[in-house]
Amino acid sequence: MRSTTVLPGVPSLPPGAGDVALHRLEVAGPGAPPFATGSFEEVGPLSRWDRPHRHTFYEMVHVTAGSGTHVVDLARWPVRPPQLAVILPGQVHHWEGGRGPEGSLVLFTDDFLVDHPGDREVLRELGTRCLFALDPGHDRAIGCLFAELVAEHRQCAAGHESVLRSLLHVLVLRAARLPRPAGHGAGPRAQGRAAAVAEAFTELIARSEAAGWSVQQCAGRLGVTPGYLTQAVRAAIGRPPGRLLIEARVYQAQQLLAHTRLSVRQVAARTGFSDPAYFGRFFRRETGSSPGAFRKHHSRHHQSLEAPSGRA
């Protein structure tokens, strides 16, 4: 994403019609590393924002207290400390209900992973699982790493950027070792060029402008044949690219229906459908619900949770 960081005091970009608010990482000044850490209070009020938004950066959160729900994309995760949360760039999330989370955050962009580029893949895997319950031993270990990151960031001693990158690398790898939820197995892995092509494909279809693209169009943009793209994606992810394109299209439609006021016709157009009726049949086939019913369900659920909280 362009302009992933801003200087202090630069306001957030106003969202376009039908878009979700985008938060960029605030850094200390020109040339400062794209990294921040501290408590929720130190990072600022946007760290607990209760309205759907997305980031240009990664966010790792050590939740030590609080209650409510952490909503990431369309999944709802109860806040039951101690926990570790991982939010990826572009994911739509917010904290909802209860008394809000307490703990520490680590925020960083892709650029900060320059010393350990392999961490990007690990983080993407962590982001699919999002929230991790911590037993006492894991809670102490994760808490110590967060405390070291916060202390190193505050001191800004000689070589602190290298130390921060090293500590972050350890945190990412330690998070990857946390117990997986039941039924969450490791998928097949590809290596070399195939892995790079599959990675580029997943990043490509996450872009809003990719809605409606075919496997052939994606292959052309990546400079490979459709056959090679299919082989690479199957080897890396275990599923065909055509299926992933459909799921990306459905996901984008769900986001627009749940988090914007665009009409169903406008959502259809945004996701590459010229015929709203065909979009409705496609959406029902993939989700089991019509676009209107899906929107009503999420609207009612959100309103029922907001009502007793007394928030403006």
pLDDT at 1 over 80: no
**What does the angle CA 163 – CA 38 – CA 169 come to, to the nearest 5 degrees?**
35
> Tell me: the pLDDT tens digits for 275-311?
999 999 999 998 888 999 888 877 654 544 444 333 3
* Interstrand relation of 21-23 and 53-55 (parallel, antiparallel or unpaired): parallel
Do residues 228 and 265 touch, judged by C-beta distance below 8 A?
no
pLDDT at 29: 80
Nearest Cα neighbor of 92 from 110, 79, 74, 73 is 73
Average pLDDT of span 80-94:
92
Local structure of residue 186 (DSSP, 8 states): -
Q: Give per-residue pLDDT as tens, 25-37.
A: 988 887 789 999 9
Per the CB < 8 A criterion, the answer to whether 216 and 225 are in contact is no
Taking residue 248's Cβ as centre, other Cβ atoms within 10 Å add up to 20
The pLDDT of residue 137 is: 95
The model's pLDDT over 115-159, given as tens digits with 9 standing for 90+, comes to 888 898 899 889 888 899 999 999 999 999 999 999 999 999 999
List CB contacts of 265: < 8 A, sequence separation 6 or more: 276
For residue 181, pLDDT beyond 60: no
Distance, in Å, from the CA atom of 98 to the CA atom of 210, rounded to the nearest integer, reads 37
- Model confidence band, residue 61 (pLDDT cutoffs 50, 70, 90): very high
pLDDT score of 258: 84
C-alpha closest to that of 257 among 273, 242, 271:
271
C-alpha to C-alpha distance for 138 and 106, rounded to whole angstroms? 17
CB atoms within 10 A of CB 299: 12
pLDDT above 70 (res 271): yes
Average pLDDT on 200-221 reads 87
**What is the pLDDT at residue 164?**
96
Residues contacting 138, CB < 8 A, separation 6+: 178
